[in-house]
Structure 1
Amino acid sequence: MLPKIIFCTGVLLATLIVILLAVFSPVVHRKPVKNSTSPVMAFSLYLQQPQLSSSNPHTVASPDAGALIFHRTLTVGPEKTSLVVGKAQGFMIPVEQFAQSAFNLIYFTFDTPEYSGSLSVQAKNFGHKDRDELVVVGGTGSFAFARGIAVFQQTELEEGSASHITYKIKLKLEYPE
């Protein structure tokens, strides 16, 4: 009899906690855009390429690799010394039969005073041109329920005597009412 009472008490307590969390959880506040059916947010950032060194040989995938897993930083400007606002992590299978795979994802995480959360971008047909338009399929935190597009555009920046290639990312996000 005692185990049955403990089980029922546990179920009741868990149900009560779920209800309280649903009622009192913080809601992300966004400023709605005038004359729009749903709020829209647009901004740009840069995906920085890693510094290649002989002490870190794991930053470049071989041409016959089965999958490409990467970690990059996101910055406000194109310079490598620009303010870091987050990171980009991805998993892509470059093999032709998997080019349309739902597993090809880029995951952006942000941790700034204005934005805290993440965005998931589906990376179908990525990397075949100088400009790629990808689909934002969801988000968390400040980007909860976001949908939209992420435009990747390859740029080259001259810094002193050296130049480096980076991607400018333009995000246009829509939120449900």
Structure 2
Amino acid sequence: MMAIFDDPVTKDRNLLSPPVARAQGFYFYDKKTAYNAWFTFTLVFNSTEHKGTLNIMGADMMNEEVRDLTVVGGTGDFFLSRGIATIHTDATEGIKYFRLKMDIKLYECH
């Protein structure tokens, strides 16, 4: 199964909070014996605080409490960014709905 998404990203857990970015991309389940997924998405920022994008991709081992996805690039304020997006599953309702908490750490490369 493949899912395409365009979801708001907020600073807190409230879906109705003002978004700081949008997460646009897709994921597909890639293992028959467990729910593991492969994600690729872009965080699109367009606010007074940040403008640009961050591109994130990698395997999401959904049964693990904490997972890391790779930040593979960016544009605007995040031009040529590299780093790690640490993912925690914050809430689930079966396989139809889930909410993720992300902690993004960027590093400089010259």
TM-score by length of 1: 0.51
Q: Does 1:81 align with 2:16?
A: yes
- Structure 2 residue aligned with 1:116: 51
Cα offset, 1:114, TM superposition? 1.8
Cα offset, 1:165, TM superposition? 5.5
Once residues 135 and 145 of structure 1 are traced to their aligned partners in structure 2, the CA distance between those partners, rounded to angstroms, is 13
- Structure 2 residue aligned with 1:8: none
Aligned residue runs from structure 1 range 71-110, under 5 A: 71-96=6-31, 104-110=39-45
Following superposition, which runs of at least 4 residues in structure 1 exceed 6 angstroms of deviation?
Answer: none
**Structure having greater relative contact order (Cα 8 Å, sep ≥ 6):** 1
Kept in 2, the 8 Å contact 1:106–1:123? The answer is no
More strand per residue: 2
Once residues 89 and 28 of structure 2 are traced to their aligned partners in structure 1, the CA distance between those partners, rounded to angstroms, is 20
Once residues 70 and 108 of structure 2 are traced to their aligned partners in structure 1, the CA distance between those partners, rounded to angstroms, is 14
- Structure 1 residue aligned with 2:71: 136
Aligned residue runs from structure 1 range 145-164, under 5 A: 145-156=80-91
Cα offset, 1:152, TM superposition? 1.0
Give the superposed CA RMSD.
2.4
TM-score by length of 2: 0.77
Cα offset, 1:123, TM superposition? 2.4
Q: Structure 1 vs Structure 2: percent identity of aligned residues?
A: 27
Q: Which has the larger radius of gyration?
A: 1
